Structure formats: C-alpha cells, structure tokens
C-alpha cells in the first residue's frame, strides 16, 4: 500500500465581530448577487437575527426569498424540501442563518440545485453513497452561525439523518465550504444554557478528535490527488487550530454556560467553534462522531432542554460527547502522547502521567465537563440499553469517513465494548 504524502489546508474565509451581520448585504452586492435564498429554521425566523440579515439585503436592494423550514438535526427528507425550494427560482447565492443544521441544509440546497444528481445518494459518503465529487464551482454561500459548536461555517461537510438507515451520514467536499463565515457574537446572545453546553462540547470533541486522528502520512494515498478526502488525518496546521480551540473551551465554556450574559465568554466560544472547524474540517473527526450518528438516528423519546420539542432528538453535541470518554479510552493507546497533550490543553494535570494512563485521563477530563454542564450520564440516560448495542454498532460501522482515521483500528467487537462502556459513566 502507498501512503499519502501531502495534505491540503482548505477553510472558508472568516469575519469576526460584534455587529458584523449588517455587512452581509454589502458582501453580496459586491459579488453582483441579484436573487438570494435565505435559509433558516422556524424558531430563528421569529428573532432579530434573521431580521438583521433581511434588513441588510433590503438596504442593498437585493431581491430575496426566505426558506424557514430547516429541521434541527436535518433528515434526507427535510434536506429535499430545501433543495426543492432552491429550484423554484433562479437563486444566484445563499445565506444560511442558524446552527449547523441550517448551514448544512444550505450547503445541500446549493449543491443539489446547482448540479442535480441522478440519485440522491450519488454525492453521499461511501459506502452508503457513491461519494461522487462535486462537479464544479458552487454558488456563493454566506454562513452566519447562531450557535457556538459545529464550525460548519468553515467546512466542506454537510450531515443529515438518512431516515431509512436511522443513522447519520453526509456529503464531504471542499467545494461545499461557505464563501464566508460571519461570526457575530450578537447572534448567539439568546442561546439557551443547555444548547450552549451541547454545542460547546461539540467544539471540544471536534478539537480532540482532530488532534488525535491518524496522521495524514498513515492514510492510504488516493488514486488521484483530486480524490484526496476533506478528512485527511492529523497534520501540523490542523493541530495548531485544534489545540487553541481546546484551550479556549477550557477557559470559556463553563463561563458561558453559567452566565449567558458573559459577552467575552460567548464571543470566544463562537470563535473557538470556528477554530475547531478549521482543524477538523481538514484533519477529520473519529470515533466519537462515528458512534454518535446511530445514537442520533435511533432516538425514541428523548428530548433535550432548550431544543425544539416537536420531535424526539438527541442533539448532536450530546450524542457525540456521550460516546467520547469511552471512545478515547479505546483510542488512547493509539497515540498516548497526543491524548495527554490534549487533556492538558483542556485543563488536566498530566504531571507524572504514564502513556498507558492517557485514555483514562482524557476520559476523566471530559466526564468532568459533562458533570459541570449537567449532561446526561451516558447512553442509558437518553434511552439506550445494552440490548440496543448491536443496532448501534451496525449504524456506526459504515461511517468509514471517520472511523477509519481513528488512531486505532476498530471493528465490530471493539465497537460493542465501547458502546457498552458508554452506557453509564458515574
């Protein structure tokens, strides 16, 4: 087998600043936009955040329509609604106002309306889909995140629940990444504490998974450089962004959760989300995310505080972090030094730590955050039992894009044990 010899750093341009939302109309005007599709969800449509975007477009005399039916934790069905809407008029650009669900929905609407595939799964990550590359340039997409978590404003990845599989999958390609991510802390001012906790823990796991991923030089070389995946493995540039994101989480996440009025903490967590996005958008995420997809897809009754109550849902950040301690216990031996460095960046004292302790130290560090943020105690607390493990494993195994860049090879038996460990932590 020939191994990869190069990696590529690709990320959206980022603008950060309190009040920067008002500039989106100017940006689109400079690009010559004539007809813009604003993508958001029903809850946000009623808030000043969307009003600020619409006002900015009106000030520049830019025609626009609003699609406000994004589903929090989108499905292939809800994605199709947005795609169909995007085909109703000759939109030349997109503005996504919302969390990762909205930004990912806008990415899919942009791709599927610009280059309609023969089959919905053509662009979807293999082995679930064909993983066909995006054929050409997409229309401009401006992303204005209203949560501090997914980092979707920086990445070429869009994730959704494939309803027939009851598991998450997605599309990953550099051409999906937004033209510009506008990080305006004003837009996270009304974030409920539990949403801040869940999305903040997504930042944490993004950063740790990126930093501890299989090095890019140990990943198989693609047949052609154009086929080099978005998730390339850990690399020297992603490492910088991931480590700084961890340090920011350690300093600001608990502050943001305990005091929503703490503008500095809220601003720095919004920035940390983008930092982690640059890191994982190029290095990738690993086991905690791969295991989270069936946890989200198989939910029965659980509903989280602060989230829409119109359907059962394990929010993405919670689904990921519930698996993270068990997953990092498993991956620790794969690169113990990196697990220890990451734990230290998150505030752990690693004085005298031995390599064989790395996985447990990382797990304990994350469990400490979970307790302070009142996160459910393992998968049991969101409705899963050991009887669900075979189906959870079945949903995680096809997530090749992420589990194959874990620093330890993982198979079905390993996943059985990791899911069992994740049922309860304290």
Take residue 82 and report the two structure tokens written for it.
């947005």
CB 227 within 8 A of CB 221: no
pLDDT digits (tens, 9 = 90+) for 5-25: 999 998 899 999 999 999 999
Provide the terminal-to-terminal Cα distance of the chain, rounded to the nearest Å.
Answer: 43
pLDDT at residue 351 greater than cutoff 90:
yes
**Separation of alpha carbons 286 and 214, rounded Å:** 9
Query: What pLDDT is recorded for position 88?
Result: 96
pLDDT at residue 116 greater than cutoff 80:
yes
Lowest mean pLDDT among 292-301, 304-313, 324-333, 361-370: 304-313
pLDDT at residue 148 greater than cutoff 90:
no
pLDDT at residue 167 greater than cutoff 80:
no
**Separation of alpha carbons 383 and 3, rounded Å:** 42
Q: Which residue has the higher pLDDT, 226 or 118?
A: 118
- Topology of 13-188 in CATH? Rossmann fold (3.40.50)
- Topology of 193-421 in CATH? Dehydroquinate synthase-like, alpha domain (1.20.1090)
Mean per-residue pLDDT, 397-409: 93
Take residue 61 and report the two structure tokens written for it.
């005399």
Counting residues of the chain whose pLDDT is more than 70, the rounded percentage is: 100
Mean per-residue pLDDT, 267-293: 95
Query: What pLDDT is recorded for position 113?
Result: 98
Based on DSSP, count helices (H) and strands (E) in the chain, helices before strands.
15, 8
Nearest to 292 by CA among 310, 313, 265: 313
Query: What pLDDT is recorded for position 378?
Result: 98
pLDDT digits (tens, 9 = 90+) for 237-273: 999 999 999 999 999 999 999 998 999 999 999 999 9
Average pLDDT, the chain: 95
Write out the H or E segment, with its range, that includes residue 247: helix 236-258
Mean per-residue pLDDT, 166-195: 91
Mean per-residue pLDDT, 397-401: 90
Position 190 confidence tier, pLDDT thresholds 50, 70, 90: confident
Query: What pLDDT is recorded for position 191?
Result: 87
pLDDT digits (tens, 9 = 90+) for 199-212: 999 999 999 999 99
The domain locations on the chain are 13-188, 193-421
**Separation of alpha carbons 113 and 89, rounded Å:** 10
Query: What pLDDT is recorded for position 230?
Result: 87
Mean per-residue pLDDT, 350-354: 96
**Separation of alpha carbons 262 and 401, rounded Å:** 37
Nearest to 9 by CA among 297, 350, 278, 314: 278
DSSP 172-235: E-GGGS-SEEEE-GGGGTT--HHHHHHHHHHHHHHHHHHHHSPBGGGSBPPSSGGG--S---B-
Can 13-188 and 193-421 be said to share one CATH topology?
A: no
Query: What pLDDT is recorded for position 165?
Result: 83
Query: What pLDDT is recorded for position 39?
Result: 98
- The bridge status of strand 13-16 relative to strand 180-183 is parallel
Mean per-residue pLDDT, 294-308: 92
Helical packing angle, 336-345 and 358-372, nearest 10°: 30
Query: What pLDDT is recorded for position 266?
Result: 95
pLDDT at residue 111 greater than cutoff 90:
yes
Q: Residue written as tokens 């990451």?
A: 342
């Amino acid at each position: 087998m020939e191994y990869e010899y190069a990696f590529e750093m690709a990320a959206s341009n980022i603008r950060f600043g309190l009040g920067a939302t008002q500039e989106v109309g100017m940006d689109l005007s400079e690009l010559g936009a004539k007809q813009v599709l604003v993508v958001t969800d029903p809850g946000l449509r009623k808030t000043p955040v969307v009003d600020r975007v619409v006002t900015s477009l009106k000030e520049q005399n830019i025609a626009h329509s609003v699609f406000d039916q994004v589903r929090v934790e989108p499905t292939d069905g809800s994605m199709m609604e947005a795609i169909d809407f995007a085909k109703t008029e000759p939109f030349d650009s997109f503005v996504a106002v919302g969390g990762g669900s909205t930004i990912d929905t806008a990415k899919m609407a942009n791709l599927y309306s610009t280059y309609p595939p023969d089959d919905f799964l053509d662009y979807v990550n293999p082995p679930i889909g064909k993983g066909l590359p995006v054929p050409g340039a997409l229309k401009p997409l401006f992303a204005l995140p209203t949560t501090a978590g997914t980092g979707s404003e920086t990445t070429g990845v869009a994730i959704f629940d494939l309803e027939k599989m009851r598991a998450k999958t997605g599309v990953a390609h550099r051409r999906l990444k937004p033209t510009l991510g506008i990080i305006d802390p004003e837009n996270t001012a009304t974030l409920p504490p539990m949403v801040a906790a869940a999305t903040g823990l997504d930042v944490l796991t993004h950063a740790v998974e990126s930093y501890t991923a299989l090095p890019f030089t140990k990943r198989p070389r693609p047949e052609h450089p154009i086929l080099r995946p978005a998730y390339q493995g850990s690399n020297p540039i992603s490492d910088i962004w991931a480590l700084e994101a961890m340090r920011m989480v350690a300093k600001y996440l608990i502050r943001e959760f305990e005091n929503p009025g703490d503008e500095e903490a809220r601003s720095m967590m919004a920035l940390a989300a983008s930092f982690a996005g640059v890191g994982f958008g190029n290095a990738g995420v690993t086991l905690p995310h791969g295991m989270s997809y069936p946890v989200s897809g198989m939910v029965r009754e659980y509903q989280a505080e602060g989230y829409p109550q119109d359907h059962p849902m394990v929010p993405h950040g919670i689904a990921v972090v519930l698996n993270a301690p068990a997953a990092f216990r498993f991956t620790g031996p794969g690169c113990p030094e990196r697990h220890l460095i990451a734990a230290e960046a998150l505030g752990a004292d690693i004085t005298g730590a031995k390599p064989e302790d790395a996985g447990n130290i990382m797990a304990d560090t994350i469990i400490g955050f979970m307790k302070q943020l009142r996160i459910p105690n393992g998968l049991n607390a969101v409705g899963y039992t050991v009887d669900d493990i075979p189906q959870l494993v079945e949903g995680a195994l096809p997530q090749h894009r992420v589990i194959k860049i874990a620093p330890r090879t993982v198979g079905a038996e390993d996943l059985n044990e990791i899911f069992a460990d994740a049922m309860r932590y304290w």
